A and B are shown apart, each in its own frame.
Chain A
Amino acid sequence: MSERREFFRRVAAAAVGAEPPPPDPWLERYSRQLVLPEWSEAAQRALGDASVLVVGAGALGSPVATYLAGAGVGRLGIVDDGDVELSNLHRQHLHFTPDVGVPKAHSAAAKLGFLNPDVVIEPYPASFTAAMVDGQDLVVDCTDSFEARYAVNAACCAAGVALVEAGVIGTSGLVMAILPGETACYRCAFPQAPPPGATPTCAQAGVLGPAAGVVGSLQALEALKLLAGLPGVLTDAFLQIDLAAHDFLRVAVRRRDDCPDCAGA
């Protein structure tokens, strides 16, 4: 089939004269970000040299990993110990109906490999451990509980690895970028988890797919800013997002001297 297609392509090319040289695939793939005034070849190369760990391949992890892979991050680790469930599909766009029952890390890695074969995708179908943070340039926390976010925050603070936190529930969300030792961490902003039962979990409250898409996209954008060295990173603050009312509120946060996670960072 491909031989026939090649034959007809040559016939067509001969009919219209010499073909233009093929475009450089690297330039072409990243052209719409390279063309931006704030982007550069150096920014693109920095992205290509970066290792990023995405913790959670669900509602936030789907847009985060999709945009980071598409943008050309060199190495992308995907951590998730769950399997794809039918109830995930409305908001976790890296997983499709035939993936139900497949480990999310593998399901996500397969799609990301199709999206951008330049990216080294490393699926980890396992629970997050602090050791996974070692050697990463950036961690993006796409988990869905306070305990999990505290664990990722503590690991990143201990290892001095930049982090982008986020959470989403219903039609609300939150995004925060963290440079351990320099800017306020997640625990500086939220020293204590709400008492059990005070906040609904994702499973109890539900999430509208596009809300997770918005929050995850903001998270991916902060990650790209950090990786490319762009200004305007959302540090020492979090963005509180209420999509029912179309409210975006930037809340300033200060480092806490007594923060158990980052005071020693």
Chain B
Amino acid sequence: MLDVTDLTCPMTWVRTKLELERIAPGEALEVRCREGEALENVPRSAAEAGHDVQVTGAVVRIVRR
């Protein structure tokens, strides 16, 4: 679980993106985000990058494409 609750945009997505680069396609990364801006932008950025995204509460689950 990657926790980016102490970061702000765009560092939230930078950290998430770099973690995604470390996992294999098809593998999942869970990212805990702060309510508000991060919880809106991280899933949106992930979807724009073509990954599968699911949000449950404050946790964004991203399956690498």
Contact = CB atoms under 8 A, between A and B. Distances in A.
Top-8 shortest CB links A-B: A20-B6, A31-B14, A35-B10, A41-B18, A34-B14, A35-B14, A40-B21, A41-B21
- Classify chain A: how many residues form its interface, as a range: 10 to 19
A102 to B, nearest CB: 38
Interface in B1-50: 6-7, 10-11, 13-15, 17-18, 21-22, 49
- Classify chain B: how many residues form its interface, as a range: 10 to 19
Contacts of A35: 10, 13-14, 17
A28 B10 CA distance: 10
25 contacts: A20-B6, A23-B7, A23-B11, A27-B11, A27-B14, A27-B15, A27-B18, A28-B11, A31-B11, A31-B14, A32-B10, A34-B14, A34-B17, A35-B10, A35-B13, A35-B14, A35-B17, A37-B49, A40-B17, A40-B18, A40-B21, A41-B18, A41-B21, A41-B22, A42-B21
Contacts of A28: 11
B16 to A, nearest CB: 10
Interface in A12-65: 20-21, 23, 27-28, 31-32, 34-35, 37, 40-42
A7 B17 CA distance: 36
B61 to A, nearest CB: 20
